[in-house]
Chains A and B, each alone.
Chain A
């Protein structure tokens, strides 16, 4: 029996978020998958064509409605639930978008949700991390039961492009509530690579000591490396960095090729966010810091001396 999988696209109205291509890879690991992406937007054409180009996708459903100008769980969930009928699996990314939306969809479908799918064992059996990644549980649903899940994006590579799925407009028969309204989103625009998809990340902790030092010390190095900037919870709590830079159990879970942790002690909650990094470098003045337990390369010393030296060496 083939699996019919519906993936909810994450996008900003103009472009598809890379998390969607990772959901496609997860979906493609389900045996006999037939993959459909739904793009809900005020105007869906541009995003739908990006979705259609993902390899492995056979259909793209464009759902256009003025309420989809900003994707809010309360207004989007009834539309997704209305489309879900013929599908065996409904997946979204385990980003704040998907985490907000998918449980609401699952409840409307009277289906339990599997959060943070990190591996597919069969159409009904999945692995996911619990306890901040300190245990992995294999979860199984009864054959024939609908699966609603979020995909841990750090566990999957993005699907390649070059596909050519058919795009069709879908009309949805759903009551869209007016009780939830979008007001604003802080648009911290930067020219740096996106933290969630960057191949290199330079990340700072409380040892940076101030917002000024965080900026001055980390951003220069990040620019040299073409890296995204991340932060520990302690650094965000202290106001050195904005919340969207937080890496860890309750922030972003990332899987860069190179992760450089600077002045980060390495609480379990932080380590869970970087476990999938290919190489972890730690720079910390405390040689006993837990970050060195997971670091591939460790350097004990004063970051305020080491970082300028690194920048000088990389500049040559």
Chain B
């Protein structure tokens, strides 16, 4: 069966104002809205569109984390994923560990394509897709803004600092998504009901044979330095005068 595996992460919603805990031990995540990482939603949307075009037969969505992740997996099933895999883990999962877990899922499910978000908006690491591709010894096409499949190859346009770069990769491959790849669909109420009946399987790290090693110690968290509030000027002339007085013009 032609399968696409999509990885998703449960993260603090992008609209939440982030606050650091007073004891510097982390960021407050209790009682705040959690969502599917926006880049991962784009990854799922792309997989669904590929399936709808007839180029894939099944879309599997996977998430690593505590039991609460199942809420986000259900959202993904409601969007249209066929089944979900929840890898239970309560501690910090570093990207290299996430990549090892995803590799085990790849070995199990044999997808021809893995699509992940280019970064999670909590840790902003932007590592997991590249690490999975390395461990799998397969191509990576990161920061994708266009994906065209052609038999056993894919042509991927990437958003890079210089502009747009196009790569051709042999499949299977790992693609990570940038913002402009697509606009994810909204979930409709009947789909939420249907999603409750779709299969969601829970796996453990020990059953997958992956050790949850944390090698980066997160020693302390701080709020960023605040910029001082500035001044308002009344018109263009005063703006120019102000910038001149600061030596900027």
Interface pair B236/A309, CB less than 8 Å apart: yes
In the assembled complex, B145 has its CB within 8 A of some CB on chain A: yes
Given A180-B167, A257-B248, are A134 and B131 also a contact pair (CB < 8 Å)?
no
Looking at B59-67, B73-81, B153-161, B188-196, the stretch in contact with chain A turns out to be B153-161
Residue among A12, A135, A141, A244 with most chain B CB within 10 A: A135
B140 touches A100 (CB 8 A): yes
Task: Judge if B246 is at the interface, Cβ distance under 8 Å.
Answer: yes
Chain A residues whose CB sits within 8 angstroms of the CB of B216 once the complex forms: 112, 114, 139-141
Q: Residues of B contacting A125 with CB < 8 Å?
A: 219
**Taking A104-B130, A180-B169 as contacts, is the C-beta distance between A299 and B232 under 8 angstroms?**
yes
Closest CB of chain B to A305's CB: distance in Å? Answer: 8
How many A-B residue pairs have C-beta atoms within 8 angstroms? Tell me: 245
- Given the known interface contacts A107-B131, A131-B122, the answer about A314 and B249 at a Cβ–Cβ threshold of 8 Å is yes
Which size class do B's interface residues fall under?
35 or more
Does A211 sit at the interface, judged by CB under 8 A? no
Contact with B along A289-316 (1 / 0, CB 8 A): 0001111111111000010011001100
Chain B residues numbered 109-159 whose CB sits less than 8 Å from any CB in chain A: 118-119, 121-135, 137-143, 145, 155, 158-159
Considering the complex, give the chain B residue whose CB is closest to the CB of A113: B127
Q: Can you name the residue of chain A whose Cβ is closest to the Cβ of B139?
A: A180
Given A96-B160, A104-B133, A115-B127: A141 and B215 interface contact (C-beta under 8 Å): yes
Stretch at the interface among B48-56, B82-90, B93-101, B202-210: B93-101
Contact residues, B226-246 vs A (CB, 8 A): 227-240, 242-243, 246
With A249-B121, A250-B119 in contact, is A135–B179 under 8 Å at CB? no
- State in angstroms the CA–CA spacing of A4 and B35 once bound together: 42
Q: Which residues of the partner chain A approach B240 to less than 8 Å between Cβ atoms?
A: 310, 313-314
The SS class assigned to the B binding surface is mixed
A281, B167: Cβ atoms closer than 8 Å: no
Q: Which residues of A lie under 8 Å from residue B99 when comparing CB positions?
A: 107
Q: List chain B positions with a Cβ less than 8 A from chain A.
A: 12, 14, 17-18, 20, 27, 94-96, 99, 118-119, 121-135, 137-143, 145, 155, 158-170, 173, 178-180, 215-224, 227-240, 242-243, 246, 248-249
By a beta-carbon cutoff of 8 Å, the part of chain A in contact with chain B is: 12, 72-74, 77, 95-97, 99-108, 110-116, 125, 129-142, 145, 177, 179-188, 196, 225, 233, 236-237, 242-244, 249-250, 252, 257-258, 269, 275, 279-281, 283, 292-301, 306, 309-310, 313-314
